[in-house]
Structures are given as C-alpha cells and as structure tokens.
Amino acid sequence: MPFVRIQLKEGRTAEQKQELAQAIVEAMEQQNFAPAENVRVIYEEMAPENFYPGDLFKKEN
C-alpha cells in the first residue's frame, strides 16, 4: 500500500488538495504502480511561521 506524503504550507483549499490527490492516485494507477484503492495521499500542512526558506538568510554582497 503506497503512501504519498505531501508537505506544504497552509493555504490550499480542500478542493485543491482533493484535485491533486485524485491526479496522484490516477497517475499511480495508470502507471500500474498500485490500484487506486490501495493508494493513500497524506497532506502535512505547516503554518507559515514554521517554514523558513534558506534564501531568507542569504546575505547580499
């Protein structure tokens, strides 16, 4: 049973996440990776204050 874990910042709608999950499940099934009923898509959402991109700390010359 494959688990697809997606980590992202908060802010997507439930509809956006559902559409992406459906596309992932369909792609895995089309590639004969796993039947749709065995695929699990898991979203892990981070609050913006818990996400720091590396370029935030880049010093300019």
How many Cβ atoms from other residues are within 10 Å of residue 58's Cβ?
A: 7
Which of 2, 35, 48, 53 does the annotation list as catalytic? 2
Structure-token match 């992932």, residue found: 24
Short-list 42, 41, 8, 14, CA closest to 25: 41
Q: Is there a catalytic annotation at residue 35?
A: no
Residues involved in catalysis: 2
